Amino acid sequence: MTEFSHIDAQGQASMVDVSGKAVTVREARAEAYVRMSAETLQAIVDGNHHKGDVFAVARIAGIQGAKQTSQLIPLCHPLMLSKVAVDFEVDAEHQRVRITSLARLSGQTGVEMEALTAASVAALTLFDMCKAKDPAMIIDGLRVLEKTGGKTGHWVPEK
């Protein structure tokens, strides 16, 4: 029978003890997409959105989200992140914005959840800022793109 890492011998939820793990540089990248109307996308790109610079606010929100991951996700370790980045790529052909995030640290546990939280909070903030203009926006495609460091080394999803 496989042992579960987040359940103790009594079947109770338990935070994994990472104290015996080696400190390594760990990095994770994630992405999410926000689909929207062409009109909304153009307003963001042109800087004409009535709430201001949507990307700047969403970037800050994503970075803050990564820093708060342990407060949002039960059993996640509070981490001393050394780098969080959130970037946006406009895909006008598909009427969407691709959000990518990066989380990095030197530590004993991975940063996939922080990268995912950064991308998702940035997407939620973009949605929040634009919902009055375009309530039919769709957030999708949230996933880990890559991770490095730790015992498993380099990982990318299968195609």
* Strand pairing category for 24-35 and 83-91: unpaired
* Strand pairing category for 96-107 and 24-35: antiparallel
Contacts of 75 (CB under 8 A, 6+ apart): 6, 13, 14, 15, 16
pTM over 0.95: no
* pLDDT at residue 38 greater than cutoff 90: yes
127 vs 121: CA distance, rounded Å: 10
Please provide the distance, in angstroms rounded to a whole number, between the alpha carbons at the two ends of the chain: 30
Contacts of 17 (CB under 8 A, 6+ apart): none
Most confidently modeled range among 10-19, 37-46, 95-104: 95-104
More confident residue, 8 or 99: 99
Q: Which residue numbers are catalytic?
A: 128
Sheet holding 96-107, edge to edge: 83-91, 96-107, 24-35, 138-148
Domains and CATH numbers, the chain: 24-148 (3.30.70.640)
Nearest to 69 by CA among 37, 28, 115: 115
pLDDT of 90-113, one tens digit each? 999 999 999 999 999 999 998 999
Report residue 3's pLDDT band, with 50, 70 and 90 as the boundaries: low
